[in-house]
Amino acid sequence: MQIIDGKKTASEIRAELKVKISELRESLNEVPGLVTILVGENPASKVYVNMKIKACAEIGMNSKLEKLDENISQEELLSIIESYNKNPLFHGILVQLPLPEHIDEDIVIESISPAKDVDGFHPVSVGKLVIGKDTFKSCTPYGIVELLRRYNIETKGKHVVVVGRSNIVGKPIANLMLQKEEGANSIVTICHSAAHDLSYFTKQADILIAAIGRANFITEDMVKENVVIIDVGINSIDDPSSKKGYRLVGDVDFENVSKKASYITPVPGGVGPMTIAMLLTNTFRAFQKIKSK
């Protein structure tokens, strides 16, 4: 069994980008820029946003935090996004979700220019992904594809079973693995909570992608020998033996499933760190695309 080390892979990707950005600085005297828009005081969002800003700074990318009041009107938010759509210093725009209740997330996502949609959440990006056109892939699914590629895991003709159908992970990863291209070309099944017997599907997986949001949900009896496990879950469970009183676990019962797996991502340190690395990658690509126009 081999551990898929997302922390190490993400830091390799960041190091590669750092070199490319310093080359850009020398040749063009310009660097890619990301603006992160945070509305309100959601504590988890603040933590994520700070991680994104720090990651930009570490690789020499231009970044700005646009911190907005919880009570900002939707119109004001839309006009701020529009100003960044036009601002040549920023090539990527990320609006941290969730937004306060009075703001319609769909309208906000659709107001971001698809050319700067580094989250890959805009319907234009999603549509292009489905029909196999070049576009921004949303960061967590893109991170999974990159892990499989960098670990040389064969995907062609393999049965990928995705558990979960969210717009952020389940649906896009299923579409990515389905594409007729290298690093994909898989047979894909999507299953979810309405399945009468989930293990009927999960037992068939050569590559199992778990994005359910329930701690230790996938158990060893639900998978076959030599399965490749990609665990997207991040669940907090009580742990009196830890200082914090809790610890993070995935959707997969790592201790037992890892005994049957050929490859497995740990939680933490698997898929999680890849998300920000791919956000940086998307911002770099947004810069390249805007500059090549």
- Residues classed as catalytic: 52, 96, 119
Does residue number 234 form part of the binding site for ligand GUN (CB under 6 A)?
no
Does residue number 187 form part of the binding site for ligand GUN (CB under 6 A)?
no
Segment contacting ligand GUN by CB under 6 A, of 6-14, 59-67, 88-96, 220-228: 88-96
For residue 231, the minimal CB distance to ligand GUN (Å) is 17
Structure tokens at 224: 């076959």
Would you give the DSSP letter of residue 174? Answer: H
Does residue number 232 form part of the binding site for ligand GUN (CB under 6 A)?
no
Residue 98 or 127 having the CB closest to ligand GUN? 98
Does residue number 34 form part of the binding site for ligand GUN (CB under 6 A)?
no
Residue in the shown chain whose Cβ atom is closest to ligand GUN:
97
Structure tokens at 89: 């210093």
CA 7, CA 25: separation in Å to the nearest integer? Answer: 27
Neighbours of 195 (CB within 10 A): 12
The single residue among 51, 53, 72, 97 that binds ligand GUN, judged by CB under 6 A, is 97
Residue 35 or 191 having the CB closest to ligand GUN? 35
Does residue number 81 form part of the binding site for ligand GUN (CB under 6 A)?
no
The candidate with the shortest Cα–Cα distance to 266, out of 249, 283, 279, is 249
What SS3 state is found at 43? helix
CA 87, CA 90: separation in Å to the nearest integer? Answer: 6
What SS3 state is found at 282? helix
Q: Is 132 left (phi over 0), alpha (psi -120 to 50) or beta?
A: left
The single residue among 66, 117, 119, 231 that binds ligand GUN, judged by CB under 6 A, is 119
The single residue among 59, 95, 118, 148 that binds ligand GUN, judged by CB under 6 A, is 95
Paired residues of 207 in beta bridges: 160, 228
Residues near ligand GUN, by CB under 6 A: 94-97, 119, 139
